[in-house]
Structure 1
Amino acid sequence: MSQQQSSLRLQRIDVTKNMARYYALSIQPTLFGQTSLVRAWGRIGTRGKEIVHMFEREQDAIALLRKIAERKLKKGYSVK
């Protein structure tokens, strides 16, 4: 298992709607040999919210990262 750190940051800005959002995804190893997917989101310039998903296999974390990223890209987010 490689357990290398990888991350993706997306943003969606629409001045006409006063919208400035970010969505960050990061795969990180844990102290106990598992893999975590950390999701953070909110308005750009704020701390926002965060949730951590734990996985036994790194492939499962990568699959969820890709699924979330595809969904966000369809909603108009772009890679920063």
Structure 2
Amino acid sequence: MPKPEPEPLHLRRIDAARNMRRFYALSTQPTLFGEMSLIRNWGRICTSGKTMVQTFDGSAEAIEAFVRLERAKRRRGYAVADKRPS
């Protein structure tokens, strides 16, 4: 049974003493060719930031990369952003 796709993740790191206000977003999305893409978006809060798309042959590889990046960002001080009102 394949692993379920993770929900999109929005992290942020704010350190007023260092004038740091950063965000990091991760999500997965299937491609038209049956592959899975990991979409990363990062930058300073209130900017569009930068985007990187990595494509993997299988969803398991994309999910592993998602989890690995999430752990790395949390170790660096990023925390889950508050839910935005709809």
- Using the size of structure 1 for normalisation, the TM-score is 0.91
Q: Deviations over 1:10-69 (max 9, x none)?
A: 100011111100000000011111100000100000011011000111010010011011
| One-letter code aligned to 1:60 | E
* Partner Cα separation in structure 1 for residue 60 and residue 69 of structure 2: 14
Question: Structure 2, unaligned stretches of length 5 or more?
Answer: 82-86
Stretches of 4+ aligned residues off by more than 6 angstroms: none
* Partner Cα separation in structure 2 for residue 28 and residue 22 of structure 1: 20
Change in Cα spacing, 1:35 to 1:62, as seen in structure 2 (3 Å) is same
* Partner Cα separation in structure 2 for residue 68 and residue 39 of structure 1: 9
* Partner Cα separation in structure 2 for residue 69 and residue 4 of structure 1: 14
Give the count of matched residue pairs. Answer: 80
- Using the size of structure 2 for normalisation, the TM-score is 0.85
CA RMSD in angstroms, aligned pairs only: 1.6
* Partner Cα separation in structure 1 for residue 6 and residue 77 of structure 2: 26
- Larger % of strand: which? 1
